[in-house]
A and B are shown apart, each in its own frame.
Chain A
Amino acid sequence: MTVTPAIGQSHNTPQDNSIRERMNIVIVGHVDHGKSTLLGRLYADTGTLPTGKIEKIQAICKQQGKEFEYAFLFDAFLEEQQQGITIDTARTFFSWGGRQYIIIDAPGHKEFLKNMVSGAARAEAALLVIDALEGVRDQSKRHGLLLSMLGVKQVTVVVNKMDLVNYREDTFHAIEKEYREFLTQLNVIPQYVIPASAKQGINIIKSSPETPWYTGPSVLDSLAHFHLESKRAEQTLRLPIQDVYKFDARRILVGRITAGKLKIGDRLVFSPSNKTANIETIEAFNIDPPPTQAEAGQSVGITLDEQIFVERGEIATHDNARPLVSTRIRANLFWLGGRPLETRRPYVLRLATREVPCEVATIHRIVDATNLDDRQTQTTVKRNEVADITLRTKSPIAFDLYAQFETTGRFVLVDEYDVAGGGIITELVQDDQEDFRTEARERDSAWVKGDVGAEDRAQHYGHRAAVVLLTGPDVTAKGFLARKLETVLVAEGRHAYLLAPENLQRGLDADLVDTKPDEIIRRFGEVVRLLTDTGSLVISTTNALKEPMKHIVQTVQTLVNPIPVITIHMAKDLQGPQPDTDLIFAGPENFDDCTHQIIDLLKSRGILTEPPRGRADFQYSI
């Protein structure tokens, strides 16, 4: 057993054996400004490298006939050592002063920006390295901008290679002034700006006489001044639901709390479905006694006192502090995809555990990282660019503004198979459903429930409540198909009901003297909502509503949320663009076949199960 040698003349606390906390730090900056060298030097001078590591690298260098560099200690790949650059982020471990640091060495080459971003996204603090001779360069700025977008708020700047400028104070101050001004525009204030030479070991682990004019800490000492993020638990609750398990008798909702706290007995609201229930237990394996509360950072499992249908992607909160809900968000986005980001191209948005198809509605401007100026409006965002955009999601999502909640205020965009961009939400953009959404939320919140829940009804009837909307121009026999579907479903023993919008005209809508299309749709939606609450399958056509089909479908969806709305489009032929619906029938002749296609779709969505007198097996009770 060997003992770590004490570090001679160090002003630092010697390596402390008992670890109390851990922290992720990323080293960023322009290519060749000395990030890997700084990292290597930090390890070598603190005596924290494994025995023989330097000797091993020295031997490889000798064999290849080149000078030893500290950077080689962590540039693991042959190609990295041959080219003298870091290709991919390396995690290294470093314990000092009671903290276990994971130091992430990020590549500085523009080509590897996605690797830099991967490294920085994990970090709580950053060391940003600038070459004293070259000064502030493109990637110094781009990395600064990305750090602020990735949520890394603590930054210490290391002005490296001071040996190449003879440790001149004025050179250092000029760089410090320029970079501080840049960071100020991003609302980032560096904790320290340190003059250093990683190669010569100046101001790395202790203050050095070469810079008598510098009175601040060494790089090593500055690490202790980064503080751990602890405020998240003090925020209001955010628990994105990750999954629902039913391995045994327990039905457990799992997820990682991203903000706030929860305890047994708390009333939870799930957004965007607006369902509510109380926490009955907090489940855990091999913890005795079982926990009664939990807070931000923890991966938890909870059971509820009511059997409600909640699925991955919803955000659980307390009632008095719900997230925002919309289909439109404004965001700052950085793009890493090989193919440029385009408007009107389909992407998948992933926010916390929610996944939803989306498209870019508007690209407002491209932010030029090097001078933070705007470039003129474009229809694409190229690789490594940052842009201010508005996104439109296919269905409403729950989210927060990034300035208030980090985890639920950011998202990634997936292009085909790849995570291709990341963004932070700056604004909720109201869509035309906002008023209906508020109405539905307030109505659900005040709803007086009986003792029979939706789950009980579903068990009893052999299906979930749902809406089947038939859309399309006149004379496509929508009404005929709707009647046929109702007849077949009822013959199977289902609770299906055909609601023709015309049936409201002389009754419920009799007071509407002037035609108010929105009010007609609203009342129709509320009646559908009532019928679905009885557990029914509501079938309807849309012509009598006299509004654009898309608006009708969206409004019904908003008002009956979270009951599924299945849309079936009937067209005369398949000429021209077709609406985005669940099924499309063009000039159908065989209505039996159409009916069966709809029934198969209802089965595949888990809405219909075995007919009532059979054994009910529900997808959503997992």
Chain B
Amino acid sequence: MNHIRQLEDQSVYILREAYKNFDNLAMLWSMGKDSTVLLWLARKAFFGHVPFPLLHVDTSYKIPEMIEYRDRLAREWRLNLIVGQNKKALAEGMNHTKGRVECCTALKTQGLKQLLEEKGYTGVILGVRSDEDSTRAKERYFSPRDKNNEWDFRDQPPELWDQYKLSFPPGTHIRIHPLLDWTEINIWEYIKLENIPFLDNLYLDQGTGKRYRSLGCAPCTTPIDSTSKNVDEVIIELRNTKVAERAGRAQDEGRGMEQLRKDGYM
């Protein structure tokens, strides 16, 4: 498991750089496997402490077990949890039937933007990975967002060795991506190695021949056919599958992801 420890060492280094250099820092936590591994890595980096708030952008359409799990870990691990929600859009009746990209933009991108503006965060840590999506494959570990929260992928800063972009003009912020080099399999290998609590009743087959591979909002996330009942079986399944991880995430279809991410989506 040497390669997993290498990934861990690198992510811990990135988290510590973020903590040292950003006065107003927060981490996004969606309760999915990736951001939960990220949260665990923060506990590794800071010796059991999580010295910044965790943000959850609640679309109100999340699977109920996710919220229970969120509140339980927040209590047990003494997390500073901040939940944001685009209440205006919800009040106006936004949902996926108005268009998946539109819904994601309103409830997630805008919800996040409101939260960032309100709290004035200058650094936001996210659990995105390169192998999830081809636009995420082009991300930097420290990736600037302009005043409108937008990502200028045509002009990304150079990232040399372990020297990241740590300074930025007022009004902009930096997205920090410690998990860029992790694959989906690495995430599960690490969950097993460290025995990290995860949403097992969603990520593992409960006897129905189905499990979630990627978690999002209930209406736009579908489980896959799988009989994997434990983490070992998930790892074996993933080593042999040729189906993309986010195949069950409806908003990714066509060019959805490029547009979403350019506008400030995770």
Contact = CB atoms under 8 A, between A and B. Distances in A.
A274 interface: no
Given A88-B153, A93-B131, A283-B47, A299 B16 contact: yes
A418 B169 CA distance: 10
Interface in A1-57: 1-4, 17, 19-22, 47, 49-53
Contacts of B13: 242, 256, 299
Contacts of B2: 20-21
Given A79-B154, A407-B161, A242 B20 contact: yes
Interface in B143-198: 153-154, 156-165, 167-169, 180-181, 183, 185-186, 194
Nearest to A243: B20
A256 B134 contact: no
Given A90-B137, A252-B47, A298 B243 contact: no
Interface string B107-147: 00000000000000000000000110111011010000000
Contact of A247 (B47, B130, B162): B47
A350 B21 CA distance: 13
A215 interface: no
B74 interface: no
Contact of B159 (A102, A242, A419): A419
A1 B157 contact: no
Contacts of A2: 240-243
Contacts of B69: none
Interface centre among B17, B43, B161 (most CB of A within 10 A): B161
B162 A90 contact: no
B9 A77 contact: no
Nearest to A16: B239
A100 B3 contact: yes
Nearest to A350: B163
A503 interface: no
Interface size range of chain A in the complex:
35 or more
A412 interface: yes
Nearest to A74: B134
Contacts of B160: 117-118, 121, 150, 412, 419, 422
Contacts of B236: 17
B162 A407 contact: yes
Interface in A214-270: 242-243, 245, 247-248, 250, 252, 254, 256
Interface string A117-161: 110011000000000000000000000000000100000000000
Nearest to A406: B161
Nearest to A416: B167
Contacts of B130: 90-93, 102
A276 interface: no
A2 B237 CA distance: 8
Nearest to B133: A76
B97 interface: no
B255 A4 contact: no
A447 interface: no
A122 B159 CA distance: 9
Contact of B157 (A87, A411, A418): A418
Nearest to A300: B9
Interface string B227-266: 1000000001101111110000000000100100000000
A344 to B, nearest CB: 21
A123 B76 CA distance: 40
Contacts of B158: 114-115, 117-118, 336, 419-420, 422
Contact of B46 (A79, A247, A298): A247
A109 interface: no
B167 A77 contact: no
A78 interface: yes
B45 interface: yes
B60 interface: no
A151 to B, nearest CB: 8
Interface string A75-95: 011110000000111111101
A247 B52 CA distance: 12
Contacts of A411: 163
Contact of A90 (B134, B167, B168): B134
Given A17-B239, A53-B244, A78-B258, A247 B20 contact: no
Interface string B6-22: 11111011001101100
Interface string B34-59: 00000000011111110100000000
B47 A250 contact: yes
Contacts of B159: 118, 121-122, 419
Contacts of A21: 2-3
A18 B152 CA distance: 38
A53 B161 CA distance: 32
B159, B163, B258 pick with most chain A CB within 10 angstroms: B163
B95 interface: no
Contacts of A247: 46-49, 51
Contact of A89 (B8, B138, B194): B138
B226 interface: yes
A114 to B, nearest CB: 4
A379 B17 CA distance: 34
Given A285-B43, A417-B167, A90 B138 contact: yes
A285 B241 CA distance: 33
A458 B130 CA distance: 49
Nearest to A47: B242
Contacts of A91: 130-131, 137-138, 180-181
B240 A93 contact: no
A579 interface: no
A312 interface: yes
Contacts of B255: 78
B203 to A, nearest CB: 16
Nearest to B255: A78
Contacts of B226: 1
Contacts of B240: 1-4, 17
B237 A1 contact: yes
Nearest to A114: B158
A76 B134 contact: yes
Contact of A77 (B16, B153, B180): B153
Interface string A332-367: 000010000000000000101000000000000000
A548 B134 CA distance: 60
A77 B43 CA distance: 35
A416 B3 CA distance: 36
B157 A243 contact: no
A582 to B, nearest CB: 22
Interface in A406-429: 407, 410-412, 414, 416-420, 422
A297 interface: yes
A301 interface: yes
A286 interface: yes
A92 B44 contact: no
Interface string A422-444: 10000000000000000000000
B134 to A, nearest CB: 3
Interface string A95-124: 100001010000000000011011001100
Contacts of A90: 130, 134, 137-138
A241 to B, nearest CB: 11
A284 B44 CA distance: 7
Nearest to A116: B158
25 contacts: A1-B237, A20-B2, A50-B244, A74-B137, A87-B153, A88-B153, A89-B138, A90-B134, A100-B3, A100-B183, A115-B156, A115-B158, A118-B156, A121-B159, A247-B46, A247-B47, A256-B9, A286-B44, A299-B12, A336-B158, A410-B161, A417-B167, A419-B163, A419-B165, A420-B158
Closest 9 CB pairs of A and B: A76-B134, A299-B12, A114-B158, A91-B130, A22-B3, A51-B242, A50-B244, A90-B137, A412-B163
Given A117-B160, A242-B20, 14 more contacts: A2-B240, A76-B137, A78-B255, A92-B131, A114-B157, A118-B158, A150-B161, A243-B20, A245-B47, A256-B162, A297-B6, A350-B163, A412-B160, A419-B163
